[in-house]
């Protein structure tokens, strides 16, 4: 029986991919037949904030004041990206767990929410380029995937067969 490697995505993975940098990890995670990728609402918020700034070439607040948000979202299909993943909607973390992450690891609220959600949903893996995730993951029960090599190591343990390629992913993202 094939085990599924369930991975919670941090916004940094989506942001870097959308900017055209550090694309290899997300493409490989999508290509691998044994992975299931998730996002949660904090990740959506962070991603959209950066997305607006990147594609609008101005601060998101300025884009709002200039009433350009709809224009940018119409020009770029954000739903297409999120349709590749599942939304994590169960086991929303309690406030005390979020605060514990903030206090224990000196995290800002969004990072604490993401890690607390990962923990409360019993997700074993989080993919992120954010170095703030390193220590909490090392000390907790969450494995950080921050590179292509880290991902390959995990899937070789969980699913030792070669990945199945879906070449359309790399050409359509």
pLDDT for res 24: 92
Determine the average pLDDT of the residues in 52-62.
94
Cα–Cα dist 98/110, whole Å: 9
Find, among 124, 130, 140, the residue nearest to 8 by Cα.
124
pLDDT of residue 77: 87
Q: How far is CA 63 from CA 45, 66, 68, 162, in A?
A: 16, 5, 5, 45
User: Where in the sequence is the domain holding 14, given as residue range(s)?
Assistant: 5-172
Residue 41's CATH number: 3.40.50.1010
Question: pLDDT per residue over 73-131, tens digit each?
Answer: 999 889 999 999 999 988 899 999 999 999 999 999 999 999 999 999 999 999 999 99
Q: Provide the domain count of the chain.
A: 1
pLDDT of 165 higher than 80: no
pTM: 0.87
3-state class of 8 per DSSP? strand
């Amino acid at each position: 029986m094939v085990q599924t490697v369930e991975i919670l995505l941090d916004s940094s993975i989506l942001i870097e991919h959308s900017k055209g940098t550090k694309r290899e990890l997300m493409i490989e995670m999508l290509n691998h037949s044994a992975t299931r990728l998730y996002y949660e609402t904090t990740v959506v918020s962070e991603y959209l904030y950066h997305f607006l700034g990147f594609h609008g070439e101005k601060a998101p607040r300025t884009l709002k004041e200039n009433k350009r948000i709809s224009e940018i979202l119409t020009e770029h299909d954000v739903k297409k990206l999120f349709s590749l993943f599942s939304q994590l909607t169960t086991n929303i973390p309690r406030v005390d767990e979020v605060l514990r992450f903030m206090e224990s690891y000196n995290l800002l609220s969004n990072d604490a929410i993401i890690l607390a959600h990962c923990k409360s949903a019993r997700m074993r893996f989080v993919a992120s380029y954010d170095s703030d995730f390193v220590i909490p993951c090392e000390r907790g029960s969450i494995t950080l995937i921050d590179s292509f090599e880290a991902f390959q190591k995990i899937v070789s343990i969980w699913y030792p067969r070669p990945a199945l390629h879906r070449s359309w992913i790399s050409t359509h993202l």
